[in-house]
């Protein structure tokens, strides 16, 4: 194929705080420019660093405000979206999130777009019944459905009626140059900035403070382990709706600096460098966590709950431990096990880094997307 393939991404929202925003930023910035031209349309757009980065790379991010797809104004926005697709001579439309999978996909099909792809990035426990019904009714619009983990694919097949033959699993990718194991000096500096000594056992999690992310499990399990590990310390970074309520609930522990509950951070590497063990403990609705991959690339052993694709990134007993969701007692046991065996922690961290480089690199993720786009267009890249 002599000309570039024109890609058009549609998103419900781009607020700059979620894994989907990060994923799409990495993807459009690293796809080969000589082979692909990217445009992004967003229905709910807020200023954020990811959009700034995309635009700085010369890629258009266009706000097409749609609050409710069934409101009269949505008809005008539908016309806008259709005109944008035609003006950009779009070859492939890829949708992210619920409204884009229905409203956006229907507009694309009516606009004559031949190739539609849906991206399913979590197990969808938070979807309402009407959303699942709409997805089933419109399932035939999509030529392929990208899922970020096999676990997500199984849910999509079972609950949304997508034929297994249309499922393409592409794991998220991590920038293994930006996220890397710290030098001894970096580790010392990172711990000093947070007020941790070399002797303290630092357990960390980077995730939005939302009910399904399992911060209560993290805090409850770690504090219960403190009876046998007096040096255990917890640092959780992410901001979000539960941050202030958790700070109030654990005010004494925060005051004693046994727990640090911190807002969203532009650069999380310094927090990763301070940790001995990284955690991600969702109780529901996980996909394939960028946060887990960043911890792996930073050379950390992990403890994760068996939700979504966590157990596809963390191989139980190799680069970490996989525990049942919602089980603070299991977290306590896992922490005691890893604290007691520094050599095992070190080996798990080494294996985490190896897996990040071999299976979950940003380059691999982009290659697999590029190959899928080319296959739909009947070309070879």
Together in a domain, 208 and 349? yes
* Residues 153 and 203 placed together within one structural domain of the fold: no
Angle CA 274–275–278, to nearest 5: 150
What SS3 state is found at 266? Answer: coil
- Mean pLDDT over 265-284 rounds to 95
As given in the structure block, the two tokens for residue 284 are: 């529901």
Q: Do 203 and 318 fall within a single domain? A: yes
- CATH for 333: 3.40.50.2000
Let me know if residue 290 belongs to a domain.
yes
Does 30 share its domain with 160? yes
Residue 270: its pLDDT value, please?
94
Cβ–Cβ under 8 Å, residues 233 and 205: no
366 and 348 in a common domain: no
**Residue 116 in contact with residue 141, Cβ under 8 Å?**
yes
Q: What is the domain extent for residue 189?
A: 184-359
Helices (H), the chain: 19-30, 49-56, 73-87, 98-99, 105-110, 129-137, 150-160, 184-194, 215-225, 243-249, 251-255, 269-274, 290-297, 310-313, 328-339, 342-359, 362-377
Asked if pLDDT for residue 1 goes beyond 70, the answer is: no
90 with 200, same domain: the answer is: no
Q: How confident is the model at residue 379 (pLDDT cuts 50, 70, 90)?
A: low
Task: Tell me the pLDDT tens digit for each residue of 51-99.
Answer: 999 999 999 999 999 988 888 889 999 999 999 999 999 999 999 999 9
12-35 burial by CB neighbour count: b if 16+ within 10 A, else e? bbbebbbbbbbbbbbbbbbbeeee
- Tell me: do 77 and 105 sit in the same domain: yes
* For residue 246, pLDDT beyond 60: yes
271 vs 239 pLDDT, higher one: 271
Say yes or no: 138 and 276 in one domain.
no
Residues 35, 379, 148, CA angle at the centre, nearest 5°?
A: 75
Amino acid 175: pLDDT: 94
Judged against a pLDDT cut of 60, whether residue 381 lies above it is answered with no
Q: Does 354 have pLDDT greater than 60?
A: yes
Instruction: Say if residue 290 is in the same domain as residue 345.
Output: yes
Task: Count the domains in the chain.
Answer: 2
Mean pLDDT, residues 109-128 taken together: 89
| 306 inside domain | yes
Q: For residue 256, is it within any domain? A: yes
Average confidence score pLDDT of the chain: 94
Question: Among 127-131, 153-157, 271-275, which is the least confidently predicted range?
Answer: 127-131
The pLDDT tens digits for 311-337 are 999 999 999 999 999 999 999 999 999
Helix, strand or coil, per DSSP, at residue 198: coil
**Which of residues 18 and 260 earns the better pLDDT score?**
260
Question: Is the same domain home to 57 and 206?
Answer: no
User: Same structural domain for residues 248 and 297?
Assistant: yes
What whole-number distance in Å separates Cα of residue 220 and Cα of residue 137? 43
- pTM value? 0.92
């Amino acid at each position: 194929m002599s000309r570039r393939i024109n890609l058009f991404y549609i998103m419900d929202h781009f607020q700059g705080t979620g894994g989907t925003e990060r994923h799409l930023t990495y993807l459009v910035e690293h796809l080969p420019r000589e082979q692909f031209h990217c445009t992004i349309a967003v229905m709910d757009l807020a200023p954020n660093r990811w959009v700034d980065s995309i635009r700085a790379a010369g890629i258009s991010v266009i706000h097409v405000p749609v609050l409710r797809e069934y409101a009269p104004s949505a008809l005008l926005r539908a016309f806008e979206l259709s005109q944008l697709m035609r003006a950009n001579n779009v070859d492939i439309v890829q949708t992210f999130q619920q409204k884009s999978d229905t409203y956006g996909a229907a507009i694309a099909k009516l606009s004559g777009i031949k190739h539609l792809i849906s991206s399913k990035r979590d197990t969808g426990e938070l979807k309402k019944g009407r959303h699942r019904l709409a997805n089933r009714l419109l399932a035939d619009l999509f030529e392929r459905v990208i899922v970020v983990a096999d676990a997500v694919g199984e849910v999509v097949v079972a609950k949304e009626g997508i034929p297994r033959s249309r499922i393409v699993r592409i794991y998220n990718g991590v920038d293994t140059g930006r996220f890397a194991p710290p030098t001894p000096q970096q580790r010392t500096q990172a711990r000093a900035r947070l007020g941790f000594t070399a002797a303290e056992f630092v357990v960390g999690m980077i995730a939005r403070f939302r009910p399904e992310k399992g911060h209560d499990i993290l805090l409850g399990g770690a504090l219960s382990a403190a009876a046998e590990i007096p040096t255990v310390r917890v640092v959780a970074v992410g901001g979000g709706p539960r941050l202030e309520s958790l700070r109030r609930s654990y005010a004494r522990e925060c005051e004693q600096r046994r727990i640090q509950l911190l807002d969203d951070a532009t650069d999380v590497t310094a927090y990763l460098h301070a940790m001995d063990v990284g955690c991600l403990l969702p109780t529901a609705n996980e996909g394939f966590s960028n946060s887990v991959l960043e911890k792996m690339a930073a050379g950390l052993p992990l403890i994760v709950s068996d939700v979504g694709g966590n157990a596809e990134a963390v191989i139980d007993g190799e680069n970490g431990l996989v525990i049942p969701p919602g089980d603070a007692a299991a977290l306590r046991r896992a922490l005691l096990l890893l604290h007691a065996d520094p050599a095992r922690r070190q080996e798990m961290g080494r294996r985490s880094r190896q897996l990040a480089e071999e299976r979950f690199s940003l380059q691999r993720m982009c290659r697999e997307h590029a190959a899928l786009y080319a296959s739909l267009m009947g070309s070879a890249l």
